Amino acid sequence: MIDPVILLEFIPAALALNVTPGPDMMLCLAQGMRSGRRAAWAASAGVSTGSMVHVTIAGLGLGAIIAAFPWAFDVIRWIGVAYLLYLAVQAFRSSKARANARGMRPLLAYRAGLITNLSNFKVIWFVLAFIPQFVVPDAGPVFAQFLAFGAMIAGGGFVVNGLVGAYAGTLGAKLIQSSKVLGYVTGTIYAALAARLAVME
């Protein structure tokens, strides 16, 4: 059972990250514009499936490492701090993203979303940097907590990316137009998460 207080900290941060334009969102936006809502939702489902694969791999690795070497959690934590700061700098420097993807049938759109996410190995590093700060080793199996938080991120991403693609002419366009502002917001969030991860015990 995840502490409700931790959930109140996790959900807003995860939601803020989900609405930040990136390759996955661009793919869903493009599918919505070129192939319609079904393709957009299919692409979003593929992206979320890929996210859960990354979460599972990262969670299994983290759980095994912590079980064998308890001190490794601190090492991973500081690697996470450095990576989150790197992401913050990249977010501040980010420019407007563009959607480039051909229209396709839902099954092919799902496959495209899955491959787009799985081919982005930075997702694993992000998962290892973001989720551990909400995991409480003494509260239960690390892997189970990892999966629970990962499922929330993947579920939120499915809804956000799907909506952006389904309403590509309105919601999606507005979100992309505001990507520079979102870059500053996201950079601030990453920096704050890095600070929080650095001081946690």
| Three-state secondary structure of the chain | CCCHHHHHHHHHHHHHHHCCCCHHHHHHHHHHHHHCHHHHHHHHHHHHHHHHHHHHHHHHHHHHHHHHCCCHHHHHHHHHHHHHHHHHHHHHHCCCCCCCCCCCCHHHHHHHHHHHHHCCCHHHHHHHHHHHHHCCHHHCCHHHHHHHHHHHHHHHHHHHHHHHHHCHHHHHHHHHHCHHHHHHHHHHHHHHHHHHHHHCC
- Per-residue pLDDT tens, the chain, 201 aa: give them: 688 888 888 888 888 878 877 778 887 887 887 778 899 999 999 999 999 998 998 888 766 776 677 777 677 667 767 866 876 787 677 644 444 555 568 898 898 889 878 877 677 777 877 888 888 878 788 888 889 999 999 999 999 999 988 887 566 556 656 666 656 766 776 677 677 667 765
Whether this model's pTM surpasses 0.85: no
